[in-house]
Structure 1
Amino acid sequence: MSATLAFSASVKAQENEPLQEVSIALGSQVLNVTYPWLMMPVALGYWRDEGYDVNVVGVQGSLQGLQMMASGGVDLVQFNSSVLIQANVENGISARGVMGNGVIDWGLGVKEDGPIQSIDDLKGKRIGIVSLATGGVPMLRALLRQNGIDPDRDVNIVAVGAGTQALQALRSGQVQGLMFWQSALTSFENAGTELRILRDPEWREMPDFTLGTLQSTIDEDPEMIEAIVRGANKATLFAMTNPECVRRIHWEHFPSTKPTGADTETLEQWDLNLLNAQLDTMRSAYELHGGELLGYVDPDAFVGIQEFLYDSEMIGDTIDTDELVIHREGFFEATNDFDHEEIIESAKNCDVMGSSQS
């Protein structure tokens, strides 16, 4: 049975069974091809097969997502590691990482042909960031402090939104730098703006994007958390196997996210560039967290980033990093308990096209 037929049969078998609704907040309002572990389970029915109707909600930043989760507005949140740590250390919120998705790939992009050659040259300048509620703000402030710049006095950090709006702010001189994650910086370069990327090279050795939830949610519904991560792991493996297939499925299932402004071949390459940039950080996270189980979250991986935040005065105390991660015996093994070869073969053949309309 082909993957398409298997998908259809699975859906039909569950048509009369009520699906449990689950909501996930993502700290970005641009739900494009760069989030395959969250978007592909919807398109390919991985979560529906597990019995869940999942809604991915784009919000202004990781901090807003955390606030929504803390107030009961969403069940899980995709947030930056800095926000996960701050939630526990500074806010007393028992948030737990349940899936590792990336390393810190934020960077400060400036015009390649412009006068800014180093962080020092940004003194007195304006720096744009997607939102003042994003987890990238602590990273930017720390980067500035490391280079002798007071982020409160020596620069002006402003929210510029995402996509074309942010790029236009740089092109017009409203800001002299853009602090964004790598796939966003790649999108700016796709649009024809050559950038010099300034960042701390040690960031790539620290965890960042993490899927998390509250300890209370884990206690109340551990099966749901396990199923959500398992579906996301399937999608991760699918994406790593065949990025171009992911691009095709994403465009079919979420047509409003398809880029515009160029011919189809160029648009296809642009989105593939974005996805490959994201896959690079996903693979780095996989290796950072042990390189054995998809989505595994290693508490020890957070030691360096917590020390970084503490030394940069972003947090006033530290905790045992074991407290940042889900503790449920066999959890990560269970979230990897699926037929990996079947997913790989399905991705290689890209024989699931049309299933999103089933």
Structure 2
Amino acid sequence: MKSTLRPSVAALVVSAVALALTACGGSSGGGSADKEITVAFAGAVNAPKEDVATYAVAKDQGFLDAKLKVKTINADGSSAAIQAVTSRSADITAADMGSILAAREKGVPIKAIGGLVQNWPWRIAVKPDSPIKTGADLKGKKIGVISLASGSAPYARAFAKDAGLDGQKDIDLLPVGIGTPAASALNSGKVDALALYTAPYASIENSGTKLRYLPNGAAFQGIRSLTFAAREDTIKKKKEELTLYLRAAYQGLLFSSVQPEGAMRIGFKTFPAMLSGQTVDQRLKGDTKVLTSFVDSATPAQGEPESFSNWGAIGDAEWQKTMAYTRAAGQITKDIPVSEIWDPSLLAGANQFDAAQVIAKAKAYAPA
């Protein structure tokens, strides 16, 4: 999810062609779309996370306006996704806030425009019988990260620092990816611990690997992770397009919080490669669990979907906590004025939808 800007835009993999989308509310959308937007997903392949909850569901359920033509591309991590936005290969991405802040400090004209993951999803995991009990026990250990350009690396370093260690010298970071490769690295002893987020852990546990999690310290509470971001000039030139996409994304997320299994079925229909040659029935239970873990990280920790509101908002206290964490992780050297990194001007329009209607639609969903 996070880190520096090393991955090249050449790492991007086009995952979908332009799609003419039907509007919510029954408009026909018979003519060609007159507005376009390209979305970069911060993952080399599509997975049961924001790809499904904010895009696949929005497309399938008609939350995307008929005037909008959408393309999607995949980028190998948040840094690559931000490079795609910077180079105009994409207009918007949901990237890790640490990567967004790091890019801004380096002079990239990018701003956050709407929150997504609001409950800190990163954890350190070990095998149940591991002698590692606390963060201090990680000294001299190997920690598996998704890649050195993902959010794993800065998180692992910040976790070590919070435990009183030197995040640069006292731990070794090894790229292990996610899913089966990460589980294999832990089970074989190639690494002593993993630094992943909740969705990949759910996938690993689905495969039969048991895990024990080290508790995050208080410093990790209130930190923002995946956040929608765009170039400053794109925000001005494509205000309507970005607003329409955010509105659809938040409706898709709300639908997914009510109907995760239905959302996962929609995900398989939109991104059939996620099935990896298996049937929907073979994948549905496990991948729904993975998707649910993502949705839980991106919706309020308290309350039911009927009470969810003010989608995308990020408060001042959250900004300060996030910047403090990003400094501790070594991604930025000083605080960045919030006005330089945050443009919430699209959120009023993004929140103009009937939540009750979305919830009713989710409850009534039945697979075709």
Q: Which residue of 1 aligns with 2:323?
A: 306
Q: Do residues 41 (structure 1) and 58 (structure 2) align?
A: yes
Structure 2 matches for 1:93-172, cutoff 5 A? 93-102=108-117, 103-172=119-188
Query: What TM-score, normalized by structure 2, do the two folds share?
Result: 0.84
CA distance in 2, matches of 1:323, 1:336: 23
Q: Which residue of 1 aligns with 2:17?
A: none
Q: Which residue of 2 aligns with 1:216?
A: 233
- Deviation, 1:339, is 2.5
Going from structure 1 to structure 2, the CA distance change for 1:7 and 1:323 (only over 3 Å counts) comes to closer
Give the number of aligned pairs: 340
Q: Do residues 255 (structure 1) and 272 (structure 2) align?
A: yes
| Amino acid in the other structure paired with 1:93 | V
1:98/1:296 contact within 8 Å kept: no
CA distance in 2, matches of 1:185, 1:118: 19
Structure 2 matches for 1:337-352, cutoff 5 A? 337-351=352-366
| Amino acid in the other structure paired with 1:302 | W
1:189 is aligned, of 201, 205, 209, to 205
Matched-pair identity in %: 26
Give the match's secondary structure for 1:28.
coil
CA distance in 2, matches of 1:133, 1:105: 17
1:53 is aligned, of 64, 69, 72, to 69
2:186/2:194 contact within 8 Å kept: yes
List per-residue Cα deviations over 1:52-94 (Å, max 9, x = no partner): 2223322221111111211221111111111122222x21223
1:299/1:322 contact within 8 Å kept: no
Q: Which residue of 1 aligns with 2:32?
A: 17
Q: Which residue of 1 aligns with 2:350?
A: 335
| Amino acid in the other structure paired with 2:143 | I
User: What's the Cα RMSD here?
Assistant: 2.6
1:100/1:286 contact within 8 Å kept: no
- Deviation, 1:238, is 0.8
List per-residue Cα deviations over 1:223-255 (Å, max 9, x = no partner): 111111011011011111211211222223322
Q: Do residues 237 (structure 1) and 257 (structure 2) align?
A: no
Q: Do residues 63 (structure 1) and 54 (structure 2) align?
A: no
2:33/2:69 contact within 8 Å kept: no
Give the match's secondary structure for 1:296.
coil
CA distance in 2, matches of 1:300, 1:122: 30
Give the match's secondary structure for 1:284.
coil
1:97/1:326 contact within 8 Å kept: yes
Give the match's secondary structure for 1:107.
strand
CA distance in 2, matches of 1:81, 1:7: 30
List per-residue Cα deviations over 1:118-141 (Å, max 9, x = no partner): 222222222111111113322211
